[in-house]
Structure 1
Amino acid sequence: MKISFKYISYFFLFVLGISMTLSSCTSDLDVTPKDDDEFLSETFFQDPASYKQVLAKLYAGLYVGGNDGDGAADIAGLGGDFSSYLRLLFVTQELSTDEAIIAWADGALPTLNAQTWSPANEFLEGTFSRAFYHISVANEFLRQTTDEKLTARGVDADLKAEIATFRAEARFLRAFSYYNLMDLFGNVPITTENDPVGFYYPEQKTRAEVFAYVESELKDIDASLAASKSNEYGRVDKTAAKFLLAKVYLNAKVYTGTDKFSEAATLSKEIIDNSGYTFANVPYAYLFSADNNTNGAQSEVIFPIVGDGNAIRATGGGMSFIMHASIGGSMDAASRGMDGGWQGIRTRREFVNLFADATGTADKRGTFYTDGQSKDINNVGTFTDGYAVTKFINKNANGSAAQRNDIPDIDFPMFRLSDVYLMYAECAVRGAAGADINTAVGYINKLRTRANALQVASSTLTLDFILDERGRELFWECHRRTDLIRFGKFTGGDKLWQWKGGSINGRATESYRDLMPIPARNIQANPTLKQNPGY
């Protein structure tokens, strides 16, 4: 068992009322208890243990799609296997870029490969609804944990103090969802615990207003979050909030029109120097192994989405999706620690070309499966068209077996210190105040030393190099779309890759696609929502 609240996390309780705040924003969020294991809010919160269980539901929701894993989904329109938070982040952040492509033809999924999506895309609807569902759970938890309610229930002082930290974590996870909504969809409604419960149309805010809200929340919760590295593994602390704020500042020019690279650099340096998180001096592969919570990799992982083959019964969610879908062709699933492959995801030739070779010889991060695979993708629906990716493995670092081979133990590294090094380096190249280019070179070379790649000099640190290095270090970690947009390379014709725009050699796409459309079904549910330009 990886963390003490792991099994609490997968108790899969429901709380009646969590959806009501946003029921007018998206009808997908209506919730009805079905059996005695699901509870009414006021009754359920009489139990002192319930507060941690609801917090655990928030964390569990990052991996699974519903209360029983892949079964009864939290949101309608997509099954629980298709609608887990991490899976939808991967679909939107990776499939739309040079780093990944999927063979499946489920619904509108192929349009994500080609940047030809429309407001009717059910996977975008699922992403929008999943984030708002997560927000609604956090809002209800915050409503139920005010000082007045805790006092009325006779909660003692020690538990009150613990709940104060729980509340800060819930606000962080809510801010994380608003960050993803702002990044993907731009102008979205903001609802909090102070909004009425019941039917109403939440007001759509501008992207700049959402930015200001997320910034304010992340600053405000600093005093209440657990000190850096003092929380249970898998739960966030002060450094996680600083990381997310640095990421928000890094992309501020995209979100608001005003850059905040100096602020991003300051926060990055603070995390590097003072957080207690340290660069993992272990082989790169250890960071993505089944025991990455104990093999030394954990020293740099600031916010993991925790996986556990025994505790999590979600075959199609999170890392289970990433592992199964990336195995096919002549690959031996057992060598990847899995029970089989779904012949889905691989990468595109242009991403492979970021590495000196495809064997991991010149850079151990660039390990691809090429046996029976063609580098070119002539047919998107054929798994063997395109090199397979072997970054993640459901085996322990010493080669021993994970707990089971159907659902992996791998923890997904949502935030890690290596990204902070890269953020600082980018800010230095962009001329951020106080950011030193020689310090940045040192950080980049730490990454490259671990990868057994050639060292670089300050003259190498251009924006193009930084973007490529972010790809080499962080690929398949749900950053690529955001990165490409920040560098002006996601849409348009400056950077092409196979099947961008639906063309085998890639073609320029429309700049309005830097924003995803507000899903049509969500606009039907809340007609006050305005569609993004171009859609």
Structure 2
Amino acid sequence: MKKRHLLIAAALLVVVGTFSCKKQLNSPKDAVTKAAASNSARYLQSIVLGTYTQLQGLTANNAMLLTAEETTDALIVPGRIGGDWADGGVWQQLWLHTYTASHGNISGAWDNAYNTIGSINITISLLQGLPQTDATAYSISELKVLRAYFYYLLVTNFGNVPLLTSTEQDASKVATSSASDVFNFLITELKTNGPVLSSKTPSQDPAQYGRLNKWGAYFLLAKLYLNQNVITGSSDNSGYQACSSYCDSLLNSGYSLQANFLDNFASSNNSGNNENIFVIPYDHIYAQGLQIQMMSFHYNQAAKYNWGSTGGPWNGFCANADFYGKFSNSDSRKAGWQEGIQYAADGTTPLTTRGSDSSLVLNFRPQVSNLYTATEYDGVRQQKWQLTPGYQSQDADFALFRYSDVLLMKAECLLRQGDAAGALTYTAPVRQRAGVANFNIAAFNADSLLSERGREFAWEGWRKEDLIRFGHFGDKKQFKAADADGHTKLFPIPTEAIQKNPNLTQNPGYN
């Protein structure tokens, strides 16, 4: 099913090319072509799915999800003995919160988001140029919800950002909109367009796989309301109440938890998975890009996984002892990490380090000894996305929205409104699946829930906003003192973006 989905998306190149080359057609023929296109499910699907392929760049190491995660306690990229991952300190600056407006990864995250938004706006304009039918209206609504997701990433990471919603706008002149205005725009967009979309889950309708449906829009609304106080500066419970209501709808939408946590990250997670609400479909041939294992695993693990011809892995991304220590030995989610002695493909021959520290046995340890000259074996490695031996890119899809998040959002809303007992009814199924007992109500608090979210969604792109919402983003952590103020909660508007558009306003603390 995944390959079929992607091949249809690839047909965009042929279909759009054919349509756009009809400039010389006379009016009657052109009208017929447009009318046929607006009623062609295959044409419209190819247009929409072609835009979705922009998502594949979202998990790059300089795109939004991992760049945000690298500022948190969950993902550290130390420089290694021998100079690897030094790169002028860019990775360490994210951990230390010393990033500036010229930081390349932050600029890359901004560019990735706005390039995608630009592509979506072009596609919406193309669809609006066709005779308007129920099918074209549906496609436009779906693309507006997809655009809303990218604006969600921008407003939660950058705050005040320019709203580009039409190809008629001059991107070099559009001024910054306040985070509150962006919030209100997104609420309206999602409430208007979400209900138009299919209410069927991918298990009920395989054509919905890898696409935003009504429930994807409701998930985004829940996230916006959950973060309302952070985004807009409000301080009441209205956001939590609204989030809770959308969670209720999602809880009755037909999604459910997978029996096994790691099934959500398997190479076959495109078939029959009822937990993943919205995913980025990846394929090691047709939709390359998911390479988290390359960024995390040790160089000498290449032979074990037949990666020798790929030039990787690169021995960078890891988690330290403080974050890894949040997982108990009985927690099945701990299997998503590599710790201890690593072996060759025969399962008995220990691998060794590359030689910068005397070819020691490769024994991953949680401790990270130094932020700039860590050993080759410092830090545990991420392996929850199923590996694809022989290929740099993986077949596992990347779940952006999961049903387990709905359960934990609902729990948080109840906890913040004083109903700890009610909250525990929603943490229970997540904890039960992980093989650990539910929280004791006497010891259950906001920090308990924050740690649970860290265990459930490690490296999935939610940790930064979670830490901000729970008031712990600026805390002291290994190698880093507590932040002097809160300005690093928002990334700086990239220098290059301001050079291109002087009407943008830099975030406080970065001038």
TM over 0.5: same fold? yes
C-alpha spacing 1:350/1:51, structure 2 compared with 1 (3 Å): same
1:115-169 Cα distance to aligned partner (Å, 9 max, x none): 11000012111111211111111112222222xx323xxx8xxxx3332222111
C-alpha spacing 1:346/1:308, structure 2 compared with 1 (3 Å): same
Gaps of 5+ in 1: 17-35, 65-82, 396-400, 501-505
Q: 2:339 aligns with which of 354, 370, 383?
A: 370
Q: 2:446 aligns with which of 446, 458, 463?
A: 463
Does 2:130 correspond to 1:150?
A: yes
1:390-433 Cα distance to aligned partner (Å, 9 max, x none): 222226xxxxx7xx63321101110000001110111111007x
In the alignment, the residues of structure 1 paired with residue 307 and residue 430 of structure 2 have an alpha-carbon distance, to the nearest angstrom, of: 27
C-alpha spacing 1:41/1:204, structure 2 compared with 1 (3 Å): farther
Q: 1:528 aligns with which of 493, 498, 503?
A: 503
TM-superposed deviation, 1:200: 5.1
Check conservation: 1:349, 1:498, Cα contact below 8 A.
no
TM-superposed deviation, 1:12: 7.0
**CA RMSD of the aligned region, Å?**
2.9
Which residue in the other structure is 1:4 paired with?
A: 4
Does 2:245 correspond to 1:266?
A: yes
Letter in 1 for 2:293: M
TM (normalized to structure 2)? 0.82
1:71-113 Cα distance to aligned partner (Å, 9 max, x none): xxxxxxxxxxxx7668612332211111111242335333212
In the alignment, the residues of structure 2 paired with residue 391 and residue 270 of structure 1 have an alpha-carbon distance, to the nearest angstrom, of: 29
Q: 2:265 aligns with which of 282, 288, 309?
A: 288
The higher radius of gyration belongs to 2
TM-superposed deviation, 1:11: 5.2
Which residue in the other structure is 2:416 paired with?
A: 430
Which residue in the other structure is 1:24 paired with?
A: none
**Structure 1 counterpart SS, 2:274:** helix
Check conservation: 1:515, 1:532, Cα contact below 8 A.
yes
C-alpha spacing 1:243/1:120, structure 2 compared with 1 (3 Å): same
**Structure 2 counterpart SS, 1:101:** coil
Does 2:398 correspond to 1:405?
A: no
Which residue in the other structure is 2:357 paired with?
A: none
The answer to which of 37-46 and 5-14 deviates more is 37-46
Which residue in the other structure is 1:255 paired with?
A: 231
Letter in 2 for 1:473: E
Q: 1:52 aligns with which of 45, 56, 59?
A: 45
TM-superposed deviation, 1:301: 0.5
TM-superposed deviation, 1:50: 4.8
In the alignment, the residues of structure 1 paired with residue 15 and residue 366 of structure 2 have an alpha-carbon distance, to the nearest angstrom, of: 49
Check conservation: 2:15, 2:46, Cα contact below 8 A.
no
1:234-276 Cα distance to aligned partner (Å, 9 max, x none): 111100000011001001000012241111111112211x211
Check conservation: 1:175, 1:217, Cα contact below 8 A.
yes
TM-superposed deviation, 1:310: 2.5
State the aligned residue count.
457
Check conservation: 1:302, 1:416, Cα contact below 8 A.
yes
C-alpha spacing 1:444/1:8, structure 2 compared with 1 (3 Å): same
In the alignment, the residues of structure 2 paired with residue 112 and residue 508 of structure 1 have an alpha-carbon distance, to the nearest angstrom, of: 13
**Structure 1 counterpart SS, 2:94:** helix
Check conservation: 2:62, 2:108, Cα contact below 8 A.
no
Which residue in the other structure is 2:296 paired with?
A: 326
TM-superposed deviation, 1:332: 6.5
C-alpha spacing 1:84/1:443, structure 2 compared with 1 (3 Å): closer
Check conservation: 1:301, 1:413, Cα contact below 8 A.
yes
In the alignment, the residues of structure 1 paired with residue 219 and residue 489 of structure 2 have an alpha-carbon distance, to the nearest angstrom, of: 23
Matched-pair identity in %: 31
Does 2:429 correspond to 1:453?
A: no
Which residue in the other structure is 2:200 paired with?
A: 228
Which residue in the other structure is 2:405 paired with?
A: 419
Gaps of 5+ in 2: 25-29, 79-84, 341-362
Which residue in the other structure is 2:87 paired with?
A: 106
Letter in 1 for 2:180: A
C-alpha spacing 1:165/1:252, structure 2 compared with 1 (3 Å): same
Q: 2:112 aligns with which of 92, 107, 130?
A: 130
Which residue in the other structure is 1:517 paired with?
A: 492
Letter in 2 for 1:351: F
TM-superposed deviation, 1:325: 0.9
Check conservation: 1:429, 1:461, Cα contact below 8 A.
no
TM-superposed deviation, 1:179: 0.7
Letter in 2 for 1:422: L
Does 2:375 correspond to 1:388?
A: no
Check conservation: 2:226, 2:243, Cα contact below 8 A.
yes
In the alignment, the residues of structure 2 paired with residue 41 and residue 375 of structure 1 have an alpha-carbon distance, to the nearest angstrom, of: 60
Check conservation: 1:13, 1:54, Cα contact below 8 A.
no
